[in-house]
């Protein structure tokens, strides 16, 4: 779930909320993390992306404290380990983001759960549920290590938060070279943090410095740290796909095309979302255009199959969902592209009209029409 959604819910429940990567400084990375896993009144773990750090920290928390640990995750995720004994509070994504109505629902649910978790001593740690002879309050009552001063923790939070806030502003203003420097500094403080690596890679390839080709290669090297070929993190996979799609567009690198297709396939398998699905269909048509006749037929058939699935996903996203105008726009734009790819001209025309109505900024329509133009060139 969006950190902003979790933070608002926890603060509405009367608690202070910090993300794990904010509780780190150069000299105190491990010290602060373990101190907070032991002493925090509440820990919320989002295991949707199957990030190893999050899983490890959840396990440590379960070992240290019997109470007040909440686990959240995206509905429909396939978790690679047995979590049947752990209750996961689920939320639903609509493509790239949570819809407006789902944000309201999940925030209210999480606020109530946070209230109960800190006020009622209900065991949620499987360690203490199954090993009943462990101390009633966990290792909190046995801890000999003094808590770190609040000022020290806040100092590490402020330094990292300031850097990430400045980096986000730089990116929003298209100052990508400045953002690269800021994300580098944030990574030095944040240590092994996937989010910081992802943002550094994004800023790097968008900077186009010293040129687009070398910027993309730098971003590729940065992302290799996250092991995209074995990753289940859809953000990592999405960036890997974007970098290699652009590399292919620059120099028709066949390896880059295969890497983009791999990442989109993996992302779509994990999330079953319209974003990965429609982009995967496009890349399959891109490969088809450069393939021999037999393979071309197979790839185009796969692209059509994916577009039909994507249409179903988009239709379901509309059912009972309250969305912002921009959220609706990208779903409608996806339906427009899917219909063009399927040769459904009449329906495509209807969605095009809706796209023009929903577009809140000129670049949105422009981006969609550029994509449609590329698609028509591939399939006609």
CATH architecture of 3-148: 3-Layer(aba) Sandwich (3.40)
- Residue 15 buriedness (CB in 10 A; 0-12 / 13-18 / 19+): middle
C-alpha 346, offset from chain centre: 35
The percent of the chain in helix, strand and coil, each rounded to the nearest 5, is 70, 5, 25
Every domain of the chain and the residues it spans: 3-148, 151-265, 273-380
For tokens 């429940």, name the residue.
13
Residue range 227-237: mean pLDDT, rounded:
91
Which pLDDT belongs to residue 246?
A: 95
CATH architecture of 151-265: Alpha Horseshoe (1.25)
36 vs 378: which has the higher pLDDT: 378
pLDDT of 231 higher than 60: yes
Between the alpha carbon of residue 258 and those of residues 60, 195, 261, 361, the distances in Å are 39, 25, 5, 33
Residue 174: partners with Cβ closer than 8 Å, 6 or more residues away: none
C-alpha 342, offset from chain centre: 29
Band (275; pLDDT cuts 50, 70, 90): very high
Tell me the pLDDT of the chain averaged across its residues.
86
Q: Which tens digit of pLDDT belongs to each residue from 342-359?
A: 999 999 999 999 999 998
CB 261 within 8 A of CB 284: yes
pTM given for the model: 0.67
Closest CA to 331 of 343, 345, 317: 317
């Amino acid at each position: 779930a969006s950190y902003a959604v979790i933070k608002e819910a926890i603060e509405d429940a009367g608690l202070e909320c910090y993300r794990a990567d904010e509780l780190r400084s150069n000299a105190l990375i491990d010290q602060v993390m373990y101190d907070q896993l032991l002493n925090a009144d509440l820990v919320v773990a989002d295991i949707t992306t199957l990030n190893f750090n999050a899983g490890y920290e959840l396990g440590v928390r379960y070992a240290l404290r019997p109470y007040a640990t909440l686990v959240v995750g995206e509905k429909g995720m396939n978790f690679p380990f047995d979590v049947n004994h752990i209750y996961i509070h689920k939320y639903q994504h609509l493509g790239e983001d949570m819809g407006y109505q789902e944000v309201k629902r999940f925030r209210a649910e999480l606020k109530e759960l946070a209230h109960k978790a800190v006020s009622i001593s209900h065991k949620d740690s499987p360690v203490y549920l199954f090993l009943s002879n462990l101390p009633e309050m966990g290792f909190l009552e046995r801890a000999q290590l003094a808590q770190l001063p609040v000022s020290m923790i806040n100092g590490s939070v402020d330094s990292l938060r300031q850097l990430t806030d400045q980096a986000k502003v730089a990116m929003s203003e298209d100052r990508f070279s400045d953002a690269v420097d800021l994300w580098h500094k944030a990574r030095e403080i944040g240590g092994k943090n996937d989010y910081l690596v992802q943002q550094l890679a994004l800023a790097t390839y968008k900077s186009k410095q010293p040129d687009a080709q070398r910027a993309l290669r730098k971003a590729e090297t940065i992302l290799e740290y996250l092991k995209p070929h074995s990753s289940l993190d859809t953000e990592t996979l999405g960036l890997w796909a974007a970098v290699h799609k652009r590399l292919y567009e620059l120099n028709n690198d066949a390896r880059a095309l295969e890497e983009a297709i791999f990442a989109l396939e993996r992302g779509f398998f994990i999330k079953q979302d319209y974003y990965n699905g429609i982009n995967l269909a496009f890349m399959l048509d891109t490969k088809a255009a450069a393939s021999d006749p037999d393979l071309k037929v197979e790839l185009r058939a796969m692209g059509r199959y994916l577009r039909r699935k994507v249409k179903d996903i988009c239709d379901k996203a509309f059912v009972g969902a309250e969305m912002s105008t921009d959220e609706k726009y990208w779903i409608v734009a996806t339906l427009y592209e899917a219909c063009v790819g399927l040769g459904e001209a009449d329906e495509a025309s209807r969605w095009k009209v809706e796209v023009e109505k929903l577009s809140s900024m000129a670049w949105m329509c422009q981006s969609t029409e550029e994509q449609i133009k590329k698609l028509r060139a591939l399939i006609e």
